Amino acid sequence: MKKDIHPDNHRLVVFKDISNDTGFLTHSTAPSKENIVWEDGNEYPLIKVEISNTSHPFYTGKMNFVDTAGRIDKFNKKFAKFGQFKVKNQEEGEEN
């Protein structure tokens, strides 16, 4: 293995899954502007994540729809005209 390629400034950080409000304490070099008081009474940097092993369907075994910032609505608005075009063409094809 190559020497001196990994950062030495890692510290304990709390990662918090905002979709189900769970957190875990681990080492990281990721920057953070927020802090949180953890279960042991100490204050640690806080990094918020949208999905983790506690909310991802692969780990939980069930589908869990998390619509952050209206992504589904944005998708539907963006591609709604394509769905109408397809239906319109199918109707015209049935008449011919």
Can you tell me the mean pLDDT for 70-82? 79
Higher pLDDT: 95 or 75? It is 75
Same domain, 45 and 84: no
For residues 90, 94, 95 and 96, what is the CA-based torsion angle, rounded to 10 degrees? Answer: 100
Band the pLDDT of 29: cuts 50, 70, 90.
Answer: very high
Same domain, 16 and 57: yes
- State percent of the chain over pLDDT 90: 33
Higher pLDDT: 1 or 19? It is 19
Same domain, 3 and 25: yes
Q: Rounded to an integer, what distance in angstroms lies between the CA atom of residue 64 and that of residue 80? A: 24
Q: Where are the alpha helices (H) located in 1-96, listed in sequence order?
A: 57-60, 71-95
- State percent of the chain over pLDDT 70: 75
The domain in which residue 20 lies consists of: 1-64
Same domain, 20 and 54: yes
pLDDT, residue 63, reads 66
Same domain, 60 and 77: no
Same domain, 39 and 77: no
How many domains does the chain contain in total? 2
